[in-house]
Amino acid sequence: MSETDPGALEALVRAHQHFIQHPGPNETCAAWRSYCRDHDCDWVTTWDTQPYRETETNDLALSGHDRFDDIPQEALDRALLRIVDTEGPVHLAILTRRLLESAGFSRAGSRIQARIHERRAALGAQGLIRLKGEFSGRGEQFAVPCLRDWTGLPDALRQLDHVPDTELKLSLVRTVAEAGALDRDTAMNDALHRMGFIRLTDSARERLQAPLERALGTALLVKRQEFLETGPKAFQRPRRSVGTSSASP
């Protein structure tokens, strides 16, 4: 059989895709984030799903102050980074909720909000986190999205606006990849369902438009007539540098 046999090539591609879609220890989202922390990555499609991991606010050590302004800057920065490392990319509403719970405050007035904004911006300016709109995360968290099951979160936090675009885009790509081909609305509905959201409402459809267009624009998905299929970039992996440790993905 020749090396250019289309059947052999297709079988090889399918085997490669099957291997990636059934991740071993070096193909998990956590493993790729670890790799991309030290290497240049712009996107990695990951294929494992985990429950949404919430920050243990009792461990953030912000309590014991009469005013939020009395919390030492170092303690507040440590807490903010801990939340980002646990839940990032994390929406500002969730970030604020965690800090309030740890500090023992019930609501965020204008002064509290201003201080959280200030420390978030300062950490971003230092390069410790990246800011994208109302989301805060490490660089590798944006480059390597993890698909999370949001079912266990309280309703106040389990909002579609609190899901980063990268995670929505990942869910769309994986949903289409596993089905083979889907029309736009079915892809959106099934992508939401796999994250723990009930149905495709008008507002949910609007929320998914931008992530879907980005997936199409970057060849993660392609449109063939009225159906979406996976594009060439969906299964690509970053090029490893010479000398990369064998423990890396």
Residue 167 and residue 185 share a domain? yes
| Residue ending a domain, choose from 84, 110, 140 | 140
Residue 62 and residue 12 share a domain? no
pLDDT at 17 over 70: no
Assigned domain for 33 exists: yes
Q: Tell if the pTM clears 0.85, that is, is over it.
A: yes
pLDDT at 61 over 50: yes
Q: What is the mean pLDDT of the chain?
A: 90
Lowest mean per-residue pLDDT among 20-24, 100-104, 118-122 = 20-24
Arithmetic mean of pLDDT, 73-77? 98
Residue 40 and residue 64 share a domain? no
Residue 126 and residue 72 share a domain? yes
Query: What is the C-alpha separation between 207 and 204, in angstroms, rounded?
Result: 5
Residue 155 and residue 90 share a domain? no
Residue 152 and residue 34 share a domain? yes
pLDDT at 84 over 70: yes
Domain count, the chain: 2
pLDDT at 246 over 90: no
What is the percent of the chain with per-residue pLDDT over 70, rounded to a whole number?
86
Length of the chain in terms of residues written: 249
- Please, what's the b/e burial string for 144-159 (b: 16 or more CB within 10 A of its CB; e: otherwise)? bbbbbebeebeeebbe
The DSSP 8-state label assigned to residue 63 in this structure reads -
Assigned domain for 248 exists: no
